[in-house]
Structure 1
Amino acid sequence: MARSRPIEPPATPLSGGELSLRVRRASDLDAIVAASHDPESRRWLDDEPMDDEARRTSLARADAAWASGRAAPLVIADATTDEPVGIINLQFRDDAVATVAYSVFPGHRGRGVAPRAVRLLVGWALAELRLREVVLEADEGNTASIRVAEKCGFHRVGSRTEPGGHGVPRTVVVFGFGGPGPAPA
């Protein structure tokens, strides 16, 4: 069952220390498009790299995701410069459960961006959207994403095998963080 109502983007950016989470802007698109072609990002993502059409429709698709209640796409930005350093998204399974997905842009990896962004988003999702659970899924070989889940207080709930690229199966590790309660530590 899909989410049954639209989601209002945060009126002001979600702030936490050196990072903020905010809605997408046209000025973010160069960085988002470039990151969609990054080989390390491509290794873990199912989405195709953005072409000219995807770039042209990116903001409208993000707006439609909020309006439909399917997803809550945000940009991870440097709190001082407002430079985009990654993207993060809640993808709703229903009114109570969403999956968090994120990508940190190449020049900003290894600085703790992903755990801080996930904590901010999960805290907002549990407190403001009243979600019961946030799920984080990572390929078993993606040790960086597994560490993010662990650092943020997610607990492993299982794994599954699914088709991977070039017909090679892959194992996805599934983590959960439930509320109500405090945001991830």
Structure 2
Amino acid sequence: MRAPIGNFTDARPAVDCLDLLVRPVADAVRAWSGDIPVEQLIHVDTDPEIADTAVFVEHYGQGLLEQSANCVVVAGKRGAESTLAACLVLSSTRVDVNGVVRKQLAARKASFASMDAATGETGMEYGGITPIGLPADWPLLIDSRVVDTEWVLIGSGRRRGKLIVPGKAFAGLPGAVVLAGLGISAA
């Protein structure tokens, strides 16, 4: 199979390689029920040693920067109460934590979650966190530009391997809220 984007030598439907995914991601793929057929979730093998965005794009395809998205875990705090959420934005942008996220979570303060909290709560590896397989009760804040992108490269739950997913599929994930302006210029 040929990946719809990028220059990957090993591309297969994610449902055919569940053993390469961490348990929460494999479970989510196994139970997939969105409007997009599960066979359109593509797993590509990637080298974890070249996961840095600039090196990754140079190796796997120059157009990938505009077609890649980062999933980050954030914590919103209001008094003693803390809420974990995930944010999905294009790799060419950064998450507006102090504006859109804080407002959406009705939090007094919002920040990126610690690495231990992000990996411990998701069951995923740091640097590979993906919106597919997150805890179902978490808000999943998605920048509208991600949903409008035909094919999006995201983490697979591990540092090795990525998923390529139709952008419109993200709007159907548990807890998904599509927001304009969640991703702001990284410059």
Fold in common (TM above 0.5): no
TM-score, length of structure 2 as denominator length: 0.31
Higher relative contact order (CA closer than 8 Å, sequence separation 6+): 2
TM-score, length of structure 1 as denominator length: 0.31
